[in-house]
Structure 1
Amino acid sequence: MKKVGIISQARMTSTRLPGKVLMPIAGQPLLHYHVERLQTSGFSLYLAITFNDTDDPLAAFAEAHQLAYVRGDEHDLLSRYTLCAREHELDVIVRVTSDCPLLDGELLGQAVQEYVRADDARLYLSNVLERTFPRGFDFEIFSRELLEEAAEHATLASDREHVTPYIHQNRSGRVRFRHVRRPHDASAYRLTVDTAEDFELIRQLIEEHGAATLSADQLIALLDQHPELVALNAHVEQKKI
């Protein structure tokens, strides 16, 4: 049996909305919804945070919720992921980001099962390279072998800060790809939190529409029915790598 671990990167020093992952919605921090929904996947979850004192509240959150976590260099996120994979002897790594509070754990779990069935250490499976899901449902699945290879050979600062460019750009020339797609493209929607407008959308979805218990398909259907909600953050541009 392969050991699968979901590693979620988190920090308090977001440039556009500092402290966003602990901002409260309906009495719970944003990170609570992220963790709760990912736990429905059935796989272990780990937080990768920084050594910075500013991230002490994230360490306290992890300890209070009995979550394993690692701490490392703020700008070398690749090393944090590698440290976590080594410490917990992970064979398969699922990369997610903590600013996605409505990520669908069951959808992610199905993708992990597909990955494990493929039994291919050179496989990179994701829903981000060929995007049909809204931002906020992003996940990447890859082997410890590919992660260690990236950790050894990736030299660009952007490679190390963003974890997977060395892998998904196939710098080794030996990576195989599989994509998780929806039958209908919903990539124009945005359910990640990087700005105050993003946060307001998530707040309304959770507090007024019960979004914390909805599946990916149900959330997309809800956005289809409420263009006024979509308009709240439609103008926000994703930061470029």
Structure 2
Amino acid sequence: MKIGIITQARATSTRLPAKVLLTAGGRTYLEHHLDHLQATGLPVIVATTTNEADEQIVEIAAKAGVPVFRGSELDVLSRFAGAIREHELEGVVRVTSDCPLIDPEVVVAGVDRFRAEAAENLYVSNCLERTYPRGMDYEVFSGPRLLKADAEATLPADREHVTSYLHQNRTGDMRLVNMPWTESGSQYRLTLDTEDDRLLLATLIEDFGAAELNVHDLVAIMDKHPELHALNEHIEQKKLGE
């Protein structure tokens, strides 16, 4: 089964404009993100927009040897569908580029669970119930099933958020599997959405070598340094449809 990772990226983010193009430790957050994805050993595809503002994203991906699919800014579901068709993916891992420290081993565990059964109606994720820190999120699902969602989904939220047609079980036959973490890290934000998130991630990367660490190491640092958690613990995550 051909399984590939599709990560969505754009420069026109609203809370923190061009966030993935900002830098920490001499590299853009997008470069950190792609480093971690490539460490899974799976094919990686960047799904970005046709906007001129995203030319730098295309350049960074090309430098990393990662192919790019360009499509609609707002209809992200159609963008993913185009990438699936172009690369003939039977299985898909969806991640987002605001996760620069995503742990490759965490992603691979989800892929292994999906491969074990590889049913078209199977959806595997580690964030159906929050146990990992934000910034470690992934979803694994059938390529044909997302193409079906692209053909059938009409709700704007489903077009924007890509997988809600699947995990909200619009078809009534999806089987959802959560991959929980046995440790505790759900209180932490290791994602890039605001300036306070950026400050935390930059501190972790530049002062603690976080770009080389796994989720266990990162949570241990956060546990030991409550002042780091204080940098962004007040941030509220956007909800589906916002």
Provide the TM-score with structure 1 as the length reference. Answer: 0.98
> Tell me, what secondary structure is at the counterpart of 2:236?
coil
> Tell me, what secondary structure is at the counterpart of 1:60?
helix
Q: Unpaired segments of 5 or more residues in structure 1?
A: none
CA contact 2:133–2:189 (8 Å) conserved in 1: yes
Q: Which amino acid aligns with 2:12?
A: T
Aligned to 1:80: 79
- Show the 5 A alignment for 1:169-208: 169-208=168-207
Greater Cα shift, 168-177 or 61-70: 61-70
- Encode CA deviations 1:121-160: one digit per residue, 9 max, x unaligned: 1100001111100110000000012201210111011100
- Encode CA deviations 1:81-120: one digit per residue, 9 max, x unaligned: 0000100000000000001000001210121011101221
| Cα distance in structure 1, aligned partners of 2:36 and 2:62 | 18
CA contact 2:110–2:126 (8 Å) conserved in 1: no
Aligned to 1:71: 70
CA drift at 1:59: 1.0
| Cα distance in structure 2, aligned partners of 1:155 and 1:80 | 15
Q: Which stretches of structure 1, 4 residues or more, deviate above 6 A after TM superposition? A: none
Q: Which amino acid aligns with 2:49?
A: T
- Show the 5 A alignment for 1:109-188: 109-188=108-187
| Cα distance in structure 1, aligned partners of 2:185 and 2:64 | 33
Q: Which amino acid aligns with 2:8?
A: Q
> Tell me, what secondary structure is at the counterpart of 2:232?
coil
> Tell me, what secondary structure is at the counterpart of 2:171?
coil
CA drift at 1:239: 1.2
| Cα distance in structure 2, aligned partners of 1:68 and 1:57 | 14
| Cα distance in structure 2, aligned partners of 1:119 and 1:90 | 13
Q: What do you get for the CA RMSD once the two structures are aligned?
A: 0.9
Q: Which amino acid aligns with 2:25?
A: A
Aligned to 1:39: 38
Report % sequence identity.
48
CA contact 2:4–2:44 (8 Å) conserved in 1: yes
| Cα distance in structure 1, aligned partners of 2:11 and 2:3 | 26
Number of aligned residue pairs: give it: 240
- Encode CA deviations 1:33-74: one digit per residue, 9 max, x unaligned: 101011111101000000111111111111222210100010
Q: Which amino acid aligns with 2:111?
A: V
CA drift at 1:188: 1.2
